Amino acid sequence: MTEQLNSDKELDLKGLPCPMPIVKVSKGIKDIEIGQVLKAVTTDPGSLNDFPAWARSSGNEILDTHQNGEEITFYIKRSA
């Protein structure tokens, strides 16, 4: 089911250290409309905790997270 998620914008954040993935996601999500979905791919292990915490504090919603080796993919719905 998660593989079928469509996104309206993608961010390649691979190789960026903390806090840059969150910095770029918080800027990138403003480029889509409320209700649209942002796909972000990181390799920063800290993002597993950072992204949910950021989503909660910024009022956005993480629809799905999956890992493939070092790559972590988030699907984030802009809700605020």
Partner 1 sequence: MDKQLQDKLLELFTGKLSRQVQLYLDTCSRCGVCSDTCHVYASMPIPKYTPAYRAEVVRRIFKKYFKAQGKLLPVLGEAKILDETALDELKEAAYSCTGCRRCMVYCPFGIDTQQIMSIAKLLLIGANSEPEILTMLADMSISKGESIEESKERFIEGLKRLETDVIDKWKIKAGKTPIPTDAQNADILYVALAGAHSIVPAAAIFNAAGENWSLSFFEAVNFGAFVGDPAKTKLISDRIVNEAKRLKVKEVSICECGTAFRVMKHLSGPQPFKVSSLTEVHARYLREGRIKLDQSKFDLPVTYHDPCQMARNAGVIDDPRFILQHLTDDFREMAPDPKYNWCCGGGGGLVALGEETLDFRMKSARVKADQVKKTGAKILATACENCHTQLSDLNDHYKMNVEVKFLSSMVADALVH
Catalytic positions: 18
Query: Do residues 5 and 65 lie in contact, with contact meaning Cβ atoms separated by under 8 Å?
Result: no
Q: How many Cα atoms sit within 13 Å of 34 on the Cβ side?
A: 4
Asked if 54 touches partner 1 (CB under 8 A), the answer is yes
Asked if 74 touches partner 1 (CB under 8 A), the answer is no
Asked if 19 touches partner 1 (CB under 8 A), the answer is yes
Which residues, at least 6 apart from 58, have a Cβ–Cβ distance to it below 8 Å?
Answer: 26, 29, 80
Asked if 2 touches partner 1 (CB under 8 A), the answer is no
Query: Do residues 72 and 47 lie in contact, with contact meaning Cβ atoms separated by under 8 Å?
Result: yes
Task: Using CB under 8 A, count the residues that bind partner 1.
Answer: 22
| Least gap, CB of 6 to partner 1 (angstroms) | 25
- Which residues of this chain interact with partner 1, rule CB under 8 A? 17-20, 22-24, 26-27, 44-50, 52-54, 56-58
